Structure 1
């Protein structure tokens, strides 16, 4: 297949304008001289796949729930999932050519269709149709595994890939079945696992592509310690945005799964708090928890005020969010020793607030197309702070992120396995954020 340079899907305006420079690593005997940075061609490829693959899992779970409920916004939710498919197919096409992109789109769309078949069969109580849908998904994973193995010239091994795809199917079906049975806690646990799992897929696939076309990615590696940190931040920030948007929808609807959706969001906070307390002690953990939980609470206040049609309370919630963004921006600026400026952080956090509030307001007024546009923007936007913050951390302590250039790229298979942990014992912002993310990822998986 003829290669064409990857076309990165356009992103929202950058959240963070950092003062971070690139730190030059020392050259050691037997080690290639390299830059310690999160901003490489291969890291951009991985981040693009992080975004599109994880968003697919998030939107697929939510759309299946909407279908089961016969929700008014089902069509718009499905349309958002289809837009994700278009962007993912365009990305694959930009690597392997238009024909391969179309082939990918056909196969990817079919596998979404089989999930829809499963939803419909469940609604009709048709066990045979459910089994047919699962069989179709099994056939799909074999065909799709062979497709990617061939495209990457066996850098992604078909058998391991098929195993990983089966995990993806199990997670989405598990999330849906649990939701139908009213076991909402399990449903959201599966959803978070499905989102997290796709970051292993993006790591494996980006590593294979970068190895296959080294000149196009300036001989850079998407699986460095610095790129791992960026990807971990991608996961945390985007998951927060997605779960927050859905919890706000559930809140205004008075949905039965509201408490479970809110708890999924709180589980994220608890993981962060435990990690902070483990590094800095109970007092530091409580300080972080207070700030993070308060900003989630202000969104809840806005939802409640909307339900009560209390414009004054809505304004108060927005004012509280404004004060939060100033305090939290100062907190991160101090942690990164000024590598992130508080003004730039505050500006980016305001964009985050505007997107979630915009998505919620549109949903509440029945403008579901706009609601899902804003939700996707909010999800995508969070990949900007992860880049800025990870860059600041790497600049702050480059020694912690030096990696030897491997003699050859590793065998990359998208099988269900743990990512190598970033075992970083450092102070200030690095210890805070790196250990936080490691523990949260391990806890989810």
Structure 2
């Protein structure tokens, strides 16, 4: 696709909301009155708004974002992309936020230890990328050996920090899965197997949600008073975590697909296919709550808005301002239609006007990330990438809260397991968080969904 990288852009103004609450406050110091539930409500009425559920969402956000940014940064390194430094910078900022989270729970000394171990393991992945570029098999093996050492060190760190609520031996298995997923995604990309590369990337993102589930469950068990005796793992928080996972993944994959489109990258089709699979999973979640007709309606609108972003990318490549405006107008219509759909589906538990504002923020973030990328302002682009990824945990909280309030019996605690998982993965180390398992508290059987028609941009 031929395009001028330094094309002039219209400035898009909007009010930015506060997207990322500092975790040193959000994890252990809930806003006064924000969780003013009495004991009866905690026990009898399921809710997604508890300190335990917030902890799980915060960790799910940052851990999955780590996996997403790590895969993309390794890919950018392999390509020698101009935005590699900005992508690596975003990954470093994610590490600082994770460090703040650990510090808020376990103190400065533990936070510093975490930061050292975590930063080192990112460095080992970078070493692997460099060795691959240099075709140095010995250096690649050294990087893998170092990652093996990290795996053992970090497993012991977590076992000690949680008072053995998480066990090092089984934690090590889960960390090996993380290593395999990131290395697998990178190796597949280098080999030109782009479908497998994005499959591994999606696995890595989902896997870290399982880590968040196990880790947050251990923390709330360890410090019950700090989390008002609420649990991180409930059927309601499962739903919130699932929506947070899929919505944030949508934002991440959409941004990379838009970049691939404007660059004419060989992996565009594979990234678009991964985005399509994410849409399938989101549609399955809606179907499980509201039935097949509503699921199909959701899928049609959701797929349409992805197509509008594609049209914006195509118009940018063609330097067609009118077509860009048409794409933005179509996104405006989508906001109105989708807001009304959700208001109706939730029986006005969600209000269309407020929903429309949130959807506009999502649109602005993706367009900003893309426009800044094409203008080669990569630091600003990745600021918007992080904002967009974080922002999707807000609608996940609102949507899941409305669903749980609408169907409280489907989110009762009756089916919850009684044993604390020892893996830190929320289950066995091999589980990848299938949507059917997470939503088992809603329906026993998921309704089947069709295959969406992907709209692919033309390459010139």
Structure 1 residues 325-334 or 166-175, which shifts more? 325-334
1:332 positional shift: 1.0
CA offsets, 1:258-317, max 9 Å, x none? 111111101122344467678888765543332111100000000011111111111110
Relative to 1, partners in 2 of residues 1:397 and 1:33: Cα closer, same or farther, differing over 3 Å? Answer: same
Task: Give secondary structure in 2 for the equivalent of 1:345.
Answer: helix
| Residue 8 in structure 1 maps to residue 26 in structure 2 | yes
Distance, in Å, in 1 between the alignment partners of 2:73 and 2:330 is 32
Q: Is this contact kept in 2: 1:243–1:265, CA < 8 A? A: yes
| Residue 40 in structure 1 maps to residue 50 in structure 2 | yes
Distance, in Å, in 2 between the alignment partners of 1:231 and 1:131 is 36
Relative to 1, partners in 2 of residues 1:276 and 1:227: Cα closer, same or farther, differing over 3 Å? Answer: closer
1:175 match: 185
Task: Give secondary structure in 2 for the equivalent of 1:67.
Answer: helix
Distance, in Å, in 2 between the alignment partners of 1:280 and 1:399 is 14
Match for residue 422 of structure 1 among 439, 443, 450: 439
2:14 match: none
Task: Give secondary structure in 2 for the equivalent of 1:423.
Answer: coil
Structure 1 residues 355-364 or 265-274, which shifts more? 265-274
1:295 match: 305
1:88 match: 98
Distance, in Å, in 2 between the alignment partners of 1:439 and 1:412 is 37
Distance, in Å, in 2 between the alignment partners of 1:47 and 1:379 is 13
Q: Is this contact kept in 2: 1:205–1:412, CA < 8 A? A: no
Give 1:112-191 correspondences, 5 Å limit. 112-191=122-201
Distance, in Å, in 2 between the alignment partners of 1:390 and 1:271 is 15
Distance, in Å, in 1 between the alignment partners of 2:38 and 2:341 is 24
Relative to 1, partners in 2 of residues 1:195 and 1:40: Cα closer, same or farther, differing over 3 Å? Answer: same
Distance, in Å, in 2 between the alignment partners of 1:274 and 1:88 is 31
1:424 positional shift: 4.3
| Residue 379 in structure 1 maps to residue 379 in structure 2 | no
Structure 1 residues 287-296 or 409-418, which shifts more? 409-418
1:75 match: 85
Which runs of 5 or more structure 2 residues have no equivalent in the other structure?
1-22, 28-35, 452-460
Distance, in Å, in 2 between the alignment partners of 1:204 and 1:413 is 7
2:413 match: 403
CA offsets, 1:50-107, max 9 Å, x none? 0000000000000000000000000000000000000001110111111110110000
Task: Give secondary structure in 1 for the equivalent of 2:25.
Answer: coil
Distance, in Å, in 1 between the alignment partners of 2:92 and 2:363 is 26
Relative to 1, partners in 2 of residues 1:286 and 1:107: Cα closer, same or farther, differing over 3 Å? Answer: same
CA offsets, 1:136-187, max 9 Å, x none? 0001000000011000010011011000000000000000000000000000
Relative to 1, partners in 2 of residues 1:275 and 1:42: Cα closer, same or farther, differing over 3 Å? Answer: closer
Match for residue 255 of structure 1 among 265, 270, 277: 265
| Residue 229 in structure 1 maps to residue 239 in structure 2 | yes
| Residue 389 in structure 1 maps to residue 399 in structure 2 | yes
TM-score (norm 2): 0.84
1:438 positional shift: 12
Q: Is this contact kept in 1: 2:60–2:212, CA < 8 A? A: yes
Relative to 1, partners in 2 of residues 1:425 and 1:165: Cα closer, same or farther, differing over 3 Å? Answer: closer
CA offsets, 1:410-442, max 9 Å, x none? 24422333655432456xxxx9xx9589999xx
Match for residue 305 of structure 1 among 311, 315, 335: 315
Distance, in Å, in 2 between the alignment partners of 1:267 and 1:63 is 22
Task: Give secondary structure in 2 for the equivalent of 1:33.
Answer: helix
Task: Give secondary structure in 2 for the equivalent of 1:36.
Answer: coil
CA offsets, 1:364-387, max 9 Å, x none? 000000000000000000000000
Distance, in Å, in 1 between the alignment partners of 2:260 and 2:84 is 14
Relative to 1, partners in 2 of residues 1:217 and 1:409: Cα closer, same or farther, differing over 3 Å? Answer: farther
Q: Is this contact kept in 2: 1:23–1:37, CA < 8 A? A: no
Distance, in Å, in 2 between the alignment partners of 1:53 and 1:360 is 24
